[in-house]
Structure 1
Amino acid sequence: GRALSTYLSGRLRTFVNVEISLDQITYEEFIRSVMIPSFIVVFSGDVFEGSAIFEMRLDLFFTVLDILMGGPGENPPNRSPTDTEINIMRREVLNILTLLAQAWADFQYFIPSIENIETNPQFVQIVPPNEIVLLVTASISWDDFTSFVNICWPFPVLEPYLEKLANRFWMMGRKTEKLVEKQEELSEAVKRTEVVLQAVLGETTLTLGEVLQLRVGDVLRLNTHVGEEIEVRVEGKKKFLGTPGKHRGNYAVKVTRLVTNGGEEV
């Protein structure tokens, strides 16, 4: 979870919290739990006999994609992703699977490869319905956003490594305190990261012809009025509202309200 948190925090330029949980269910139960549509990646490794599944909820898929493309990561659409969107996120998933392979490195390193990508779970049948699988769920959250990623490991894929896996989980239990310390260190490091903050007095729209005719002394009418609150943006995303003024001889802005991830002003 720590490696995934670090990776996503870097890609999304905000602290991302990742919590891992495990469950043992049948493959049929897993397939029934997957939403339609969803982003389903069938993957394997060079040392595995069989395949596993990486599943990402579409709200997370579109939110991450929008942020990577320079957008605000708000209001994800309720539809299946396009081929272009899938190809972009395919690279991100391969990077995440590489992190997974590194986590396995202590007992069995593997080179991940993507076999297929589907959006309908009914078209993904890698083992019989009654086969037991290990379901690893990563709860991913930042700001007011929370979603999930699931990794479905069929028992036949894990069987050759069960003893090593059991020893690994036992050692992880002894390292809980150290992991908490590392997470706190990551949180502090993210807090020290410099970001661009902009106070936007207002905006307007001009045609190219109007821009070419601009001269010194021309007045541009903005979409805000004197005395109104203005937007305060962090890395291009609207985060606060404020009022402009002066402080100790410099232009300044006083923060008056917080803008949540959903755009609500509080």
Structure 2
Amino acid sequence: MPNILNQDEIDSLLGAMERGEIDKAENKGSLSNNVHDYNFRRPNLITKDQLRNFETVHETFSREMISTLALFLRTNVELSLVSTEQQQYSEFISSLSSTSHCVVFSAEPLPGLAIIEVNLSLFFGLIDMMLGGKGDVETEIRTPTDIEVSVMDPVMDRILDKLKGCWSALMEVKIKKERTESNPEYIQAAPPDAPVVVLAFDAKIGLANGIINICYPLPMIQAVNEHLAASAGQMDSYYGRRADEQTRKQVIQALLEVPLPLAVELGSARIRGRDLMSLSPGDVLVLDKELSELMSVTISSRALFSARPGRIKDRLYVRIQERISHDKGSPSNISVH
């Protein structure tokens, strides 16, 4: 039974509280630990489970970019996803430097425009490495020239190409580079109060290091979630994604055209080794079946039907009498000839 306080114990506890021997705030601690701040003006419109799909895709993207950039630049590369946050578009733009290297791209058939931002320390370091340096240059706060942007294009093209390949795990998209900008304020890919998802990558390439941000608008992510929800009903818990109806029909049609070996078993017998060695033309073997018994029709060495033999002119035939059931229960009669 649970402990029940008597009146004397209750009075002693109340007296101790009045004298300050027991801190009243101790009882409130357990409640305060379960309270979390929530901004109803800016709710999280994407659940953590939905964000987990994107984190998995971009973790794969970071791993593949390591090998791609290492082969392209011939140097050590470290790239890791460090954060995934839901923000307003204006907050994302405000968090960037006034001068940066941004690539705006689309992902058809998804709506909206996404942004890849490479900060200047990493940008100029990569430029130095592609021109023969080691990437340990002093960061200049200035707008990149057209020549520097052109030198950087092969790196950005590889990033977009790997991003497209990793997105195929969710759905097929066609990623297209729309334009480049050096001032984030001029991009205007979404309204200021529009929610976005921002993924930040920490990059260390040679002696160059910096941050790569990828910003996705909410309509783009919601379209992916709707696609995943629609295809969830076509997922098998063991084998994964099911084929569409047209593919299934094609597979079934191809299976129906496969020729299968069919044989009719007249009967069987057991024979000793010495009798087998002495067999000669004209000898008669007695089988284990009578003439009135049904014969087994086997397909690919599996008995599926029972049949009765017959003769039409100079050709033998069998009439199917019943299907042999391999499950519990008796064979089912059918009228197949």
Question: TM class, shorter-chain normalised?
Answer: 0.5 to 0.7
Task: Choose 1 or 2 for highest CA Rg.
Answer: 2
Task: Give the Cα separation in 1 of the matches to 2:72 and 2:181.
Answer: 24
Calculate percent identity across the aligned residue pairs.
Answer: 34
1:133 pairs with 2:228: no
Describe the superposition over 1:56-75 as per-residue Cα deviations: whole angstroms up to 9, x where unpaired: 00111111111112122221
SS in 1 for 2:176: strand
Is the partner of 1:150 in helix, strand or coil? Answer: strand
Of structures 1 and 2, the one with the larger relative CO (CA 8 A, separation 6+) is 1
- Residue 135 of structure 1 deviates from its aligned partner by 0.4
TM normalised by structure 2 equals 0.47
When normalised by structure 1's length, the TM-score is 0.59
Contact 1:16 1:140 in 2 (8 A): yes
- Quick one: distance in 1 between partners of 2:204 and 2:129? 14
Structure 2 distance, partners of 1:72, 1:80, is 22
Aligned counterpart for 1:60 among listed residues 104, 119, 122: 122
Cα deviation per residue 1:4-61 (whole Å; 9 max; x = unaligned)?
Answer: 1111222232221111121111101000011021001111123221110010001111
Residue 33, structure 1, aligned to residue 91, structure 2: no
5+ unaligned residues in a row in structure 1: which ranges? Answer: 168-266
Count, aligned residues = 167
In 1, Cα distance between equivalents of 2:225 and 2:103: 23
Q: 1:10 aligns with which of 47, 51, 71?
A: 71
**Amino acid of the structure 2 residue aligned with 1:113:** K
Shift of 1:143: 5.8
For residues 68 and 84 of structure 1, what CA distance do their matches in structure 2 show?
13
Pick aligned residue for 2:110 from 14, 29, 48: 48
CA distance in 2, matches of 1:162, 1:137: 21
Query: Which amino acid in the other structure matches residue 146 of structure 1?
Result: N
Q: Is the 8 A contact 2:114 2:215 kept in 1?
A: yes
Gaps of 5+ in 2: 1-61, 232-337
The CA RMSD over aligned residues, in Å, is: 2.0
1:142–1:45 CA distance, 2 compared to 1 (3 A): closer
- Residues 1:102 and 2:165 aligned together: yes
Structure 2 counterpart of 1:70, one-letter code: G
| CA distance in structure 2 between the aligned counterparts of 1:64 and 1:53, rounded to whole angstroms | 19
